[in-house]
Amino acid sequence: MLVIGEKINGMYKAVGKAIQEKNKETIQKLAKDQVAAGADYLDVNTGPSSANPVEAMEWLVDTIQEVTDTPLCLDTTKPEVMEAGLRKCKEKAMINSTPGQQEKLDVFLPLAAKYNASIIGLAMDEKGIPRDAAGRAEIALRIVAAAMEKGINPEDLYIDPLILPVNVAQTTAGQVLESLRQFKLLSDPPPKTVLGLSNVSQGTKYRELINRTYLVMAQACALDAAIIDPLDNELMDAMITAELLLNKNIYCDAFLKAYRKK
Ligand code: THG
């Protein structure tokens, strides 16, 4: 599983404040802590309230890269913010994300090609998120075809079926598992799959329990990558154990320790 650390997101009050006040220590600690806990990528999102998101993205990328070489997953819907971040990335970046409508694909796929970045395609378009798995697969196929046309390596394409909070959209959890399986049938080689896991538990009481239960279920349905909180130890333990049970790692008594030492 590719672990994308979710914590550097202006949606968190403390992070939004740190961005506003250009407080490097807070951001750099989050970067180092997530990497130490096993993050392969760090999500970078300036948050909804940033007055100058281009400047905020540039500052975040520079600030994080001062303390780690871990590659970054630039999380913005704005092409100008995305490109500002991509220009600054020293390692191979991930574009998070493009929705499935042609006008957006025409903007974001060329950015992926230009900066040799991987890219997340969302199973949504101008009409929103489809209600069922078939609707999600239709949009995913459009994204896969457009990416192929632009010469994007299938290894670099991640499709996100978009999980919603279970307290307001209870049928979505099952539909998304179905989508993860279906996405693997869209092309050969297939695209990779990704989820923004914590969405599933927003507004619920047992957030950590819901997150780790759903992560394990999604892993059994061909999930390749997840935007998660790597500082949640029980979540990481569940993820590592699921990898073992799916035969992705060889068993030893100290399998949790062994995974973390990798
Ligand atoms: N798919 C893709 N990218 C994504 C998402 C996705 N990026 C953003 C998001 N979804 C994934 N990241 C988060 C980060 C934090 C939370 C949820 C998802 C979260 N935050 C607390 C909350 O809202 O309750 C913030 C609380 C606080 O202020 O401290 O839950 O689906 N491709």
Q: Indicate which residue's Cα is closest to atom 28 of ligand 1.
A: 12
Domain assignment of residue 251, yes or no: no
Residue 36 lies in a domain: yes
DSSP code of residue 262 = -
Domain membership of residue 11 (yes or no) is yes
Mean pLDDT for back-to-back runs of 10 residues, the chain (262 residues): 98 95 97 98 92 96 98 98 98 98 98 98 98 97 97 96 97 98 97 98 98 98 98 98 96 94 79
In a domain, 8, yes or no: yes
- How much is the pTM? 0.98
Identify the burial level of 136 via C-beta atoms within 10 angstroms of its C-beta, where 0-12 means exposed, 13-18 middle and 19 or more buried. Answer: buried
Q: Looking at the CA of residue 120, tell me the nearest atom of ligand 1.
A: 32
Residue 165 resides in a domain? yes
Residues 6+ apart with CB under 8 A from 83: 111
CATH of the domain at 51: 3.20.20.20
CA-nearest residue, atom 6 of ligand 1:
196
For residue 250, tell me if it sits in a domain: no
Q: How many domains does the chain have?
A: 1
237 domain residue, yes or no: no
Residue 242 located in a structural domain = no
**The predicted structure's pLDDT at residue 51:** 87
The pLDDT score that the predictor gives to residue 261 is: 82
Identify the pLDDT of residue 48.
84
The residue range of the domain holding 6 is 2-232
Query: Separation of 77 CA from ligand 1 center, angstroms?
Result: 14
pLDDT attached to residue 49: 75
> Does residue 46's CB lie within 6 angstroms of at least one atom of ligand 1?
no
What is the pLDDT, as a whole number, of residue 54?
Answer: 97
User: Which ligand 1 atom minimizes the distance to the CA of 13?
Assistant: 28
- Cα separation, 262 vs 258, in Å, equals 7
